[in-house]
């Protein structure tokens, strides 16, 4: 096999080629998404899931830039870390965002994308937050049902809460020193998943 010249490292290369052993190991993580629970996914798993959706949609592999021999410093990982900072570090939310993105921004609009950077467009991320997470939305009241993304976390703690009114009551209990440890842990995880905990003070 002919060696690639170093000045070709910045060129787009398909997923089947490995510019380093680190990239080979990185790609091997992709198959784990079929066996690992979503809340245990890391950045490689999320990128692998995006690539799967991309292949299903377009019939071709997503093309990586391979701008670095270390995946952790790659263009693709950079964009997913940026997305996590804009949206949430929760794998459940990030997976749901990818699903929503493909349905609403690619399939519905018959759009072709060539870069993961499209995932981090501020207007699109904010639209998802408003429509799916209801973060700070004025329409939220005590009877508003908790979005599935947050309901998964609530169920994880074996709690029966189904609406924002119940979450608001839990927060008031915690604020007055009467909250259970499970309730504190649940709200902490919901905050990490992207829920604006302070909005619970405004729920009526």
Tens of each residue's pLDDT in the chain, 204 residues: 333 333 343 345 455 667 788 999 999 999 999 999 998 999 999 999 999 999 999 999 999 998 888 999 999 999 999 999 999 888 988 999 999 999 999 999 999 999 999 999 999 998 998 877 765 555 678 898 888 888 888 988 888 888 999 999 999 999 998 878 888 999 988 887 778 788 888 887
**Residue 10 covered by a domain:** yes
The phi and psi torsions of 80 (rounded to 5 degrees) equal -75, -35
Considering the domain architecture, whether residues 89 and 182 belong to the same structural domain is answered as no
In a 10 Å sphere around its CB, with 0-12 CB exposed, 13-18 middle and 19+ buried, how is residue 93 labelled?
Answer: buried
What is the domain extent for residue 163?
148-202
Tokens of 202: 């405004």
Considering the domain architecture, whether residues 12 and 109 belong to the same structural domain is answered as yes
Considering the domain architecture, whether residues 118 and 162 belong to the same structural domain is answered as no
Residue that finishes a domain, picked among 101, 133, 165: 133
Count of the separate structural domains present in the chain = 2
Considering the domain architecture, whether residues 125 and 157 belong to the same structural domain is answered as no
Residue among 108, 98, 105, 122 nearest 41 (CA): 98
Considering the domain architecture, whether residues 170 and 123 belong to the same structural domain is answered as no
pTM of the model: 0.69
């Amino acid at each position: 096999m002919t060696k690639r010249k170093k000045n070709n490292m910045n060129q787009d290369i398909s997923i089947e080629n490995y510019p380093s052993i680190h990239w080979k190991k990185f790609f091997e993580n992709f198959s784990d998404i079929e066996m690992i629970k979503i809340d245990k996914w890391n950045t490689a798993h999320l990128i692998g899931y995006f690539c799967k959706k991309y292949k299903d949609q377009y019939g071709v592999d997503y093309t990586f830039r391979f701008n670095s021999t270390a995946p952790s410093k790659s263009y693709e990982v950079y964009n997913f870390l940026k997305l996590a900072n804009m949206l949430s570090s929760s794998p459940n939310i990030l997976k749901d965002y990818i699903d929503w993105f493909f349905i609403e921004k690619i399939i519905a609009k018959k759009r072709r994308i060539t870069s993961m950077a499209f995932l981090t467009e501020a207007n699109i991320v904010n639209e998802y937050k408003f429509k799916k997470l209801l973060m700070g939305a004025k329409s939220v009241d005590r009877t508003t049902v908790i979005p599935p993304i947050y309901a998964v976390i609530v169920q994880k703690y074996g709690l029966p809460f189904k609406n924002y009114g119940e979450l608001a009551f839990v927060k008031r209990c915690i604020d007055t020193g009467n909250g259970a440890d499970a309730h504190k842990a649940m709200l902490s995880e919901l905050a990490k998943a992207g829920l604006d905990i302070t909005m619970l003070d405004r729920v009526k």
